Structure 1
């Protein structure tokens, strides 16, 4: 019997308990050595356990971007008209419609892709002739999970104090730290009908901008400045049906936000943040986010949406947070069926699962720097901040550690107070700034990927980008800085301002607003100095040459124009199914709004371009709504 057959209906319920993993599981298990299940076995398990979810289309929205492997394209053959009798007419194939495949197909596609990745070796060659190979890896591998958990531990250790694995003691950056855990969720059945999985995921992601601005304003009103007094780490995970959701949202995703605040704060102070989420995310319900509880601080046991506590009250704060966020050092093929189903949605849309404030990334890098300084094998000469250099142009701090490039705990006052690398060639004093570096949270830390490369290739003369090309990374970083201040800026205006090709800017702007994950791609761009180059890829022992030009997976927009017409014209009003509609172009009439939407697509030949104003003009009411 499938789980779906026995799951009661209900609203979205939060899952912020701590039994995703136990503290002993998070980041402390050895790499798997036993044989893993096959992709077909795990895909069949999803089909068998959740048949109704498995058969859902990935989206019902016109224009949703999905991987090329997860859409079905229908073509129509058209014959071109001739200009003169001497010319022959030609037949051309045009795209008629692009339909999404099912959630079950996405699970199978993800697992098969993951299996190919596990059997892939990347071969590199240095300009000096040295060759080197390493196994391929992605965000779903246990190694990636371990590194992310280690980074989270380092981040928390830098802000709240603790003992490093290398033996040193970390003095806390925050004098009076408080940990806050916030859950953002959304119902998968807001109106009784189950949402397509990528539509649900997009609704949750699209509301983050409003939630972030509210969070920043609330914290500022309490006297806390981002980077100086608080940092965050966001992590998405699936509902598993084990904690409070009663199975309604099983396999769908939700998000945990981990805040570290230097000062005292209560759940009630963050209520406005949750209210903004419910307001901005249409499928999110107020009761499911405890907004039916009038006073959160007076009724803490009735609130699960926000939890605030002193780090000293938890024996292993990093393990507690890891369990809250479902971080497990386990290969994707061994994850739960619910996790694989949720991961397939992120794979289908190529969107991020993790996002951190840049200050949090800098803190994690500082912890790693301190550990390397204490380990004689690394031959690192200086401790974190022992030698500093000027930051690169465009950075949101002035001085950074010469060893790791992090600005965490690096005083930002003047050059006279810092030992600078003479090779930088900079003179003069920096503008006065105090305390920690003020770092823009919306700018991704572009050095993090290079830092990862330095760890993998310590003998490299320079780091190449493991991900998208360096040019795209540079332009993306510039776009993110502008979006922080002008979130609604248009692509043409943005391209003109930064002086980059409009097509590139439009593509990256759309990716940023969707939250696309650039780590999904593998690419190298050669700097002028000696570097490592990806020369070939071996898949199951068969070698393939590669083009090192960056880029990402091919994404295609779903083309279902009748759905958009049905939703965003007069056909979307409440009495549409009681109204007789007539097409003003051909006089076709019907009471069925779905039939009329399909007719308008054919009659107006608007498969490729939709002008909703023209469609609304053609769409006429033949008879008013029946009572």
Structure 2
């Protein structure tokens, strides 16, 4: 169990609770503590990705007693800390459990480095001699956990009151997460798969659900991301031996032949030749570009090559993945970069500007009446769009800026406002889209003209109708 927190008064300045929780959660995001946690487990402890998982849960600082104001948290009420429950197979690592605790120190160090308001004082693990025996620090180990969900529910779900019976600090803290659109909990894919499998097992035990097969009894091949062999009932690969299926099922060739016959094709289309140019692979395109690899891969290639320029070529694949916090899904690509594979060359074609095939080019089309029409390009004809509200504003006195004491009035509805768009929209909603008609119905009231204390004794000419100027 890792506990991550931050100071509410870094450098003596009070942080708002929202800024405080944003700083803690942002530090855990990709490129931060989460990647360091993954690298610690997979590269330093040698675990496979399906041998571990995490459950992150945000909690408010201790609420004390709802009935005793003397036990409240004071100035730190409504502030956040994170519990990160890391569930892993201890038998899958070569280290003893006591040595494992010190490996998680780099995760705490990463949080202190990434979160500006986090300090060493709140994450001091140096005073802990045995992470198995001491569960009060920012790192603690429990070797007896068999069920992650039950353990975390007991560890972090200690509030049993009804919602409105909870301390007011807890309600305010929950309102902060709601207003900031923050999730108070997140889980790794492995933990989500375990939860899905557990739910599948419970459905099989409940006669009312109609599911008779327990989790993993029936399996199927899944071509999506992640594991290939999954439970047919819930789609989770949790605890399912991936060797139970050798590969995806063979396609129904007879059905494929029938489909090709129905489409008028006697044979399936040939696979594109990899050595053909972009123009040969896409002969119907007016223009096309091929940049070789995705922006994400280009960024990874640049980071790896920069690292090699500084540290030399004698670097192992796991080491460079760990040092650069690169997602393990890119390990094959990083291996190719380490082996010296060059970046694919970019390629482009542009057939939009080419000489006429027959020595002439269509300029215009002349109909029988002698009217000339421009040839269409096969696309959409573009015309200037006149929006009715904007059109009325631009072509009536609504386009003039109001002076002090003036106000627009709709002569039909009697609505008065300083906003020209409101008046124009009122005309349009009443079916008046002709600017001349709208201008005749437009009234400009001038309160300064009727007030002897003001300098203006007659309306401004620009605000008078055309027939009164």
* TM-score normalized with structure 2 length: 0.47
**Comparing both structures, which one devotes a greater share of its residues to strand?**
1
Structure showing greater radius of gyration is 2
Q: Greater relative contact order: 1 or 2 (C-alpha under 8 angstroms, separation 6 or more)?
A: 1
